[in-house]
């Protein structure tokens, strides 16, 4: 039994923070939590003192990529070996854990499943990983020769088994990912910023194709995430059962109504757009990507503000990949942007990165410091309730009640 005393406790549910709080942890899970005066410390328990600090649940990045790349040059992404990138992704996993992210949702990579399994069996340190494996795109879609110049797309099959067309192929592809052990399915229902020959406004996949993915995923109890930037592709995804919308640049009122109707979670990924515009040119991002990012940026931030004002559940997700300026370890940037650009309070931004982010994964025992949940805990000497940028500087991180 471990007794953790907290100066201020944010439990991730959205309830008001508790001062002079106490958490009891046994076998890696929370057994009791509340004001210290009402939570008795058992005899012989190990005491941990964070009574001068602010304690929150472990943070969750609900949209990133364990790609392991160290370059923003699309040509490098095909030149680098998958073995090298998987090795680098293990280093990124350690960095994420040390920076306070005790769980992540990897929405498209080759390294996600092996890195997850190595963390789970204790071989390497890292957060709890929920991964889609490789994502799915239609031919000539956002993931067809994903991020690569057109000349490469036409000269090699860069998409592999992630390129599917027709409902039958989509269904078979989803079943293959499930067999491989994916925790969710990731699809592309619009074009995107870093794919050369399409645009965020262009819809991709038919209704029948989207339904094939969601039917197969929901049959085994896992969610479907959709890269969806233009309004028509967002609506198609929501109407056909997708659980989370990623990016959502051009959300309109009908989209907001569908969010309310379906209960889907919005993961806006403001951080990558911010970094693309501010620093992308310095790190080899192609000009076509920079131009699309600049053109979409104002609408993206406005859509996120309107979703927030409408009460749509918003989860923290960065879309970080690994290389500068999207290096893992600085993932708290998304929470900073929620406060500075969207209008969330610091407490709301923390909930977006804990309790709400946990709604994007197929488990119900992370994201909040409530009885029965994993004791994933982060302590801060300088409170993020006072200044959200303090999220960048955790003093102590616990995963399953053990210091990381």
If asked whether residues 53 and 83 sit together in one domain, one would say no
If asked whether residues 100 and 212 sit together in one domain, one would say yes
Q: Is the entire prediction scored with pTM above 0.85?
A: yes
Q: What is the pLDDT of residue 81?
A: 80
Q: Which residues are catalytic?
A: 186, 319
Tally of domains in the chain: 2
Give 54-91 pLDDT, tens digit per residue: 999 999 999 999 999 888 876 676 677 889 999 999 99
If asked whether residues 318 and 383 sit together in one domain, one would say no
Rounded-to-integer distance, Cα 332 and Cα 354, Å: 12
If asked whether residues 355 and 377 sit together in one domain, one would say no
Q: What is the pLDDT of residue 198?
A: 86
If asked whether residues 49 and 65 sit together in one domain, one would say no
Domain of residue 69 covers 59-359
- Virtual CA dihedral for 322, 323, 326, 330, nearest 10 degrees? 70
Give 183-225 pLDDT, tens digit per residue: 999 999 999 888 877 888 899 999 999 999 999 999 999 999 9
Torsional sign, CA 142, 148, 153, 158: negative
Looking at residue 379, which CATH number applies to its domain? 2.30.40.10
If asked whether residues 374 and 351 sit together in one domain, one would say no
Give 151-174 pLDDT, tens digit per residue: 444 333 444 579 999 999 999 999
Rounded-to-integer distance, Cα 128 and Cα 60, Å: 9
Q: Averaged over 233-250, what is the pLDDT?
A: 98
If asked whether residues 200 and 263 sit together in one domain, one would say yes
Rounded-to-integer distance, Cα 265 and Cα 288, Å: 29
Q: What is the pLDDT of residue 75?
A: 64
In 124-252, where does DSSP find H-type helix?
150-153, 167-180, 207-219, 231-239
Looking at residue 91, which CATH number applies to its domain? 3.20.20.140
Nearest to 160 by CA among 181, 177, 184, 183: 177
If asked whether residues 275 and 376 sit together in one domain, one would say no
If asked whether residues 83 and 27 sit together in one domain, one would say no
If asked whether residues 128 and 270 sit together in one domain, one would say yes
């Amino acid at each position: 039994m471990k007794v953790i005393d907290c100066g201020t406790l944010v439990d991730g549910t959205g309830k008001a923070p508790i001062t002079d709080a106490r958490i009891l942890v046994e076998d890696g899970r929370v057994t009791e939590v509340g004001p210290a005066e009402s939570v008795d410390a058992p005899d012989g328990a190990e005491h941990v003192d964070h009574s001068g600090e602010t304690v929150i649940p472990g943070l969750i990045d609900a949209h990133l990529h364990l790609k392991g790349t160290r370059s923003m040059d699309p040509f490098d992404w095909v030149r680098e070996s998958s073995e090298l990138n998987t090795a680098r992704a293990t280093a990124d996993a350690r960095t994420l854990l040390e920076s306070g992210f005790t769980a992540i949702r990897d929405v498209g990579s080759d390294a996600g499943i092996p890195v997850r399994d190595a963390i789970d069996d204790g071989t390497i340190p890292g957060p709890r990983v929920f991964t889609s494996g490789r994502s799915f795109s239609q031919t000539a879609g956002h993931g067809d020769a994903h991020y690569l110049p057109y000349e490469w797309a036409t000269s090699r099959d860069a998409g592999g088994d992630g390129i599917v067309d027709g409902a039958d192929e989509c269904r078979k592809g989803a079943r293959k990912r499930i067999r491989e052990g994916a925790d969710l399915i990731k699809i592309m229902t619009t074009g995107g910023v870093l794919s050369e020959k399409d645009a965020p406004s262009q819809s991709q996949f038919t209704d029948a194709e989207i339904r094939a993915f969601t039917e197969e995923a929901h049959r085994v109890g896992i969610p479907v995430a959709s890269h969806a930037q233009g309004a028509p592709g967002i609506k198609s995804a929501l109407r056909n059962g997708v659980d989370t919308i990623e990016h959502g640049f051009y959300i309109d009122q009908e989209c907001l109504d569908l969010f309310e109707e379906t209960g889907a979670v919005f993961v806006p990924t403001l951080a990558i757009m911010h970094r693309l515009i501010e620093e992308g040119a310095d790190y080899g991002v192609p000009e076509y990507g920079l131009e699309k990012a600049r053109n979409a940026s104002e609408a993206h931030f406005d859509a996120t503000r309107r979703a927030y004002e409408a009460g749509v559940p918003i989860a923290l997700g960065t879309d970080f990949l690994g290389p500068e300026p999207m290096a893992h370890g600085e993932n708290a940037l998304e929470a900073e942007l929620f406060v500075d650009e969207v209008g969330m309070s610091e407490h709301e931004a923390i909930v977006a990165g804990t309790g709400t982010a946990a709604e994007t994964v197929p488990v119900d025992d992370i994201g909040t410091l409530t009885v029965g949940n994993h004791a994933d805990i982060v302590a801060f000497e300088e409170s993020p309730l006072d200044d959200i940028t303090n999220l960048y500087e955790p003093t102590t991180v616990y995963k399953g009640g053990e210091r990381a």
